Amino acid sequence: MRGPIRVTNPLLDVLEVLLQAFDSRAGDLHGWAIMKATKRSGPTVYGVLDRLEDIGWISGRWEDENPEPGKPRRRLYSITPTGVIGAREVLRERRPQALRSRLRAPGPALPRWQHVVPRDGVT
Residue 71 sits in the site that holds another protein (CB under 8 A): yes
Residue 75 sits in the site that holds another protein (CB under 8 A): yes
Residue 72 sits in the site that holds another protein (CB under 8 A): yes
Asked if 87 and 93 count as a contact pair (C-beta separation under 8 A), the reply is no
Residue 46 sits in the site that holds another protein (CB under 8 A): yes
One residue of 31, 109, 110, 113 binding another protein per CB under 8 A: 31
Query: Cβ of residue 20: shortest distance to another protein, in angstroms?
Result: 20
Residue 111 sits in the site that holds another protein (CB under 8 A): no
Segments in the chain forming alpha helices (H) = 9-23, 31-38, 42-54, 81-94, 96-104, 109-116
